[in-house]
Amino acid sequence: MLNVHDQQTLQARGITEEQLMEQVKRFETGFPYLRIADSARVGAGIVALDDTQEDEAVARWNKYLADGGTVSKFVPASGAASRMFKALFAFVDGADDKPAPGSDVDKLIKDIDNVPFYAELDHVLQRQYGMSVKELIAAGRYKDVISGIIGAEGLNYGNLPKGLLSFHAYSDGTVRTPVEEQLVEGAQSATDANGHVNLHFTVSGNHRHLFEQKLAEAVPAVEKKLGVKFDVSMSEQKPSTDTVAVNPDNTLFREDGNLVFRPGGHGALIQNLNDIESTVVFIKNIDNVVPDSKRESTLRYKKILAGYLIELHDVIAAYLTELATGQYDRARLDEMLAFATDKLSIINPKAAEMNDADLAAYLQAKFNRPLRVCGMVRNEGEPGGGPYLAYNQDGTVSPQVLESTQIDPDNAEYAAMVSKATHFNPVDLVCYIKDIEGKKFDLPKYVDPATGFISSKSLHGKTLRALELPGLWNGAMSDWTTVFVEVPISTFNPVKTVNDLLRPVHQGK
Encode pLDDT of 427-440 as tens digits.
999 999 999 999 99
Using CA atoms, how far apart are residues 480 and 483, in angstroms rounded to an integer? 10
Domain limits of the chain? 36-70+240-491, 82-159
Closest by CA position to 479, among listed 375, 364, 354, 393? 393
- For residue 443, the one-letter residue type is L
* pLDDT confidence of residue 10: 92
Beta strand 261-262 with 254-255 is: unpaired
**CA-atom Rg of the chain in angstroms:** 25
Helix locations, 241-329, DSSP H:
270-273, 296-325
Higher pLDDT, 460 or 72: 72
Does residue 508 surpass a pLDDT of 80? no
Quick one: pLDDT at residue 87? 95
* pLDDT over threshold 80, residue 214: yes
Residue 186: in which H helix or E strand, if any? Answer: helix 178-189
CB within 8 Å of 241: residues ≥ 6 apart: 263, 264, 268, 271, 469
pLDDT at 457: 83
Q: Sign of dihedral through CA atoms 215, 307, 401, 47?
A: negative
Residue 58 contacts by C-beta under 8 Å, 6 or more apart in sequence?
Answer: 300, 303, 304, 307
pLDDT at position 141, please? 97
Concatenate the DSSP letters of all residues of 150-177 into one string: HSTTTT-GGGSBGGGS--EE-TTS-EE-
Q: Rounded to the nearest 5 degrees, what angle is found at the Cα of 9, between the Cα atoms of 6 and 10?
A: 90
Rounded distance, CA 78 to CA 67, Å? 34
31 contacts 453 by C-beta, under 8 angstroms? yes
Distance CA 447, CA 55 (A): 34
Per-residue pLDDT, 381: 65
Quick one: what percent of the chain has pLDDT higher than 70?
Answer: 99
CB 180 within 8 A of CB 222: yes
Residues in contact with 83: Cβ distance below 8 Å, sequence separation at least 6, in sequence order: 496
Buried b (16+ CB within 10 A) or exposed e, 190-202: bbbeeeebbbbbb
How far out from the chain centre does Cα 239 lie?
20
- Cα separations in angstroms, 296 against 60, 174, 177, 285, 300: 19, 20, 19, 18, 6
Q: How do strand 371-378 and strand 481-486 relate by DSSP bridges?
A: parallel
* Alpha-carbon 331 to chain mean position: 40
Which residues lie closer than 8 Å to 178 by C-beta, 6 or more apart? 77, 162, 163, 164, 165, 167, 286, 287, 289, 495
- Cα–Cα distance, 185 to 190 (Å, whole number): 8
Q: Residue 385: its pLDDT value, please?
A: 66
pLDDT of residue 509 exceeding 80: no
Q: What is the mean pLDDT of residues 114-132?
A: 97
pLDDT reported for residue 37: 96
Angle between helical axes of 51-66 and 296-325 (0-180°, round to 10): 70
Candidates 199, 201, 114; CA nearest to 163 is 201
Contact 260, 253 (CB under 8 A): yes
Quick: pLDDT tens for 79-109. Answer: 778 889 999 999 999 999 999 999 999 999 9
**Burial letters 359-396, b for 16+ CB under 10 A, else e:** bbebbeebbbbbbbbbbbbeeeeebebbbbbbebeeeb
- The 8-class DSSP code of residue 117 comes to T
- Alpha helix ranges (H) inside 227-342: 270-273, 296-325, 330-342
Overall average pLDDT of the 446-455 stretch: 88
- The length of the chain, given as a count of residues: 509
- The reported pLDDT for the residue numbered 263 is 83
Question: 386 phi and psi, to 5 degrees?
Answer: 160, -145
Lowest mean pLDDT among 180-184, 342-346, 422-426: 422-426
The fraction of the chain above a pLDDT of 90, given in percent, is 86
| Interval 339-353 mean pLDDT | 96
Q: What is the mean pLDDT of residues 194-213?
A: 95
Residues 20-30 pLDDT 10s:
999 999 999 98
pLDDT greater than 60 at residue 383: no
Cα–Cα nearest to 245, from 421, 477, 464: 464
Average pLDDT in the 457-480 region? Answer: 89
Judged against a pLDDT cut of 60, whether residue 382 lies above it is answered with: no
Residue 289 has pLDDT above 70, yes or no: yes
Question: What is the average pLDDT score of the chain?
Answer: 94
Supply the pLDDT for residue 471.
87
Which residue from 147, 211, 157 is spatially nearest to 179, judged by alpha carbons? 211
Amino acid 135: pLDDT: 97
Res. 453: pLDDT tops 90: no
What does the alpha-carbon distance between residue 110 and residue 123 come to, in Å, rounded to a whole number?
19
In sequence order, which residues have a C-beta less than 8 Å from that of residue 267 and are 6 or more positions away?
447, 452, 468, 469, 470, 471, 472, 474, 475, 476
Q: What is the pLDDT of residue 384?
A: 55
Higher confidence at residue 51 or residue 462? 51
In sequence order, the β-bridge partners of residue 429 are: 283, 374
Task: Report the candidate in 467, 352, 411, 292 with the shortest Cα–Cα distance to residue 34.
Answer: 411
Identify the band that residue 329 occupies on the pLDDT scale cut at 50, 70 and 90. very high
pLDDT number for residue 262: 87
Span 31-44, average pLDDT: 94
Give the whole-angstrom CA distance, residue 219 versus residue 460.
Answer: 40
- Give the CA diameter of the chain: 83
Burial class (CB in 10 A: 0-12, 13-18, 19+), 218: buried
* pLDDT value at residue 438: 97
Q: Is 487 exposed, middle or buried, given 0-12, 13-18 or 19+ CB atoms closer than 10 A?
A: buried
pLDDT of residue 311 exceeding 80: yes
